[in-house]
Amino acid sequence: MPLSADVHHPGVRSAFEHVVRRNPDEPEFQQAVLEVLDTLSPALVKHPEYDEQRILERVCEPERQIIFRVPWRDDQGRVHVNRGFRVEFNGALGPYKGGLRFHPSVNLGVIKFLGFEQIFKNALTGMNIGGGKGGSDFDPKGRSDTEIERFCQSFMTELHRHLGEHTDVPAGDIGVGAREIGYMFGQYRRLTNRWEAGVLTGKGLEWGGSLVRTEATGYGLVMFTRRMLENVGKDLDGKRVVVSGSGNVAIYAVEKAQQLGATVVACSDSGGYIVDEAGLDVALLKQVKEVERARISTYAEQRPSARFVPGGDVWEVPCEIALPCATQNELDADAASRLVRNGVIAVAEGANMPTTPKAVKVLREAGVLFAPGKAANAGGVATSGLEMQQNSLRTSWTFEQTEAALAGVMADIHDRCRDAAERYDAPGDYVLGANVAGFERVAGAMLAQGLI
């Protein structure tokens, strides 16, 4: 996993070699660092003080890594032991902010990859929030509500000592929704004797949550995509769209894309994908995935215009806009080449790092507009920031107010990325633009605060 051959800045090469040497068994983290460092040479040439103060080495090393045991008892009385993580990566801009993921694939390298991405994603929002991430290798699938409650309480019993609205503010992620946030908030309140609404985001609407938080990542993804298209004189209206995944991000990306006039014809889950040439029925999709918690094949069973392709690759379906919203490294070079042959004009990441480096290269060489996740899927953390604002004011905004605020944040993120790319003579390169714009903001704060 080497740097690009055209990366000649010695500070960049030294920083990446340092990361690989110190984190040898963490491929996801190395990939995330590579994707950022590959684009930062121009910024180090323009700002030699970044290299002099070893900003790259410092930003690639977490400020704090917390690993802990999470024991809990199932409904049959059996004891289980999981591992919990919280990586407080960089707090130069504000309290650490980033989700908690409950999934068997979680390990320290995955959490560090997600936390590293979060630093720059949060910086791009323009809000004063740092980057962090956490979670556990606990699998909530198939567990009862009481088992999940016990696990969340055990998890928070240790984690609570590291949190606070001015210190670290987690949210949800894969496997962690409003139910899990509720159990963890209750345990935090019990342990601290404080109603500290701003310590967790993604809360229920009745007790400090924000409208649009459920929809935020999917909505924000489509808002960014529309802005990116408009920047080159195109429109989302009338476009044919394919979305991977069928979880929260995918569902609300489908909903917003169709509200804006696009036709979303396919989505997927781990069992295969569905194609619905009439356009996905969002109400039915929500019923199948959010209420019944069924496989995506159930949608095709209830929708005459749809067909299910078991075990297939959703990127086989021709489209003009592709929105990968499932998981990391799901869109590889072969899939990217197939999308290009089928006429794709834009790809925007709804998941974290779903496109492999080779796939990104294929898309960019073909002239496809490409929006990296740290910019395109920042709507979730942006709305978490809006939730923190409402909590601090002890107030709630309407859906329309919050959606308008989210749209403004996503437009600003797009413009920061576009302007940074143009400033460094790389117009249209949203990868460079996002990385440089986020990095410069974090680096400036780190320089101002001294060697800490």
Q: Tell me 105's DSSP state.
A: T
Instruction: Determine if residue 118 is labeled as part of a ligand binding site.
Output: yes
Distances (CA, A) of 28 to 19, 116, 305: 12, 11, 39
Query: Long-range contact list for 47-56, CB < 8 A, 24+ apart?
Result: 47/440, 47/443, 49/447, 50/11, 50/443, 50/447, 51/9, 51/11, 53/446, 53/447, 53/451, 55/443, 55/446, 55/447, 56/11, 56/12, 56/14, 56/15
Altogether, the residues listed in the chain come to a count of 452
Residue 272 host element (H or E): strand 272-276
Distance CA 26, CA 75 (A): 35
Written in H, E and C, the secondary structure of 117-130 is HHHHHHHHCCCCCE
Coil, helix or strand for 147? helix
Calculate the alpha carbon distances from 418 to 69, 89, 430, 431 in Å: 44, 26, 6, 10
Residue 337 known to bind ligand:
no
The response to whether 112 counts as a known ligand-binding position is no
Q: Which stretches within 231-366 are classed as H helix?
A: 248-259, 282-286, 297-302, 333-341, 357-365
Q: Which of 46, 112, 133, 239 is catalytic?
A: 133
Residue 384 marked ligand-binding: yes
289 classed as catalytic: no
Between CA 256 and CA 280 the distance in angstroms is 12
Q: Is 374 annotated as a binding residue?
A: no
- Is 225 annotated to bind a ligand? Reply is no
121 is in an annotated binding site: yes
Residue 357, C-beta contacts closer than 8 angstroms, at least 6 positions apart: 31, 34, 35
CA distance 178 to 387: 14
State both tokens at 244: 């991977």
Q: Which residues contact 110 (CB under 8 A, 6 or more apart)?
A: 28, 29, 101
Active site residues: 133
Annotated binding site: 97, 118, 121, 172, 217, 248, 384
Annotated binding site for NAD(+): 217, 248
Annotated binding site for substrate: 97, 118, 121, 172, 384
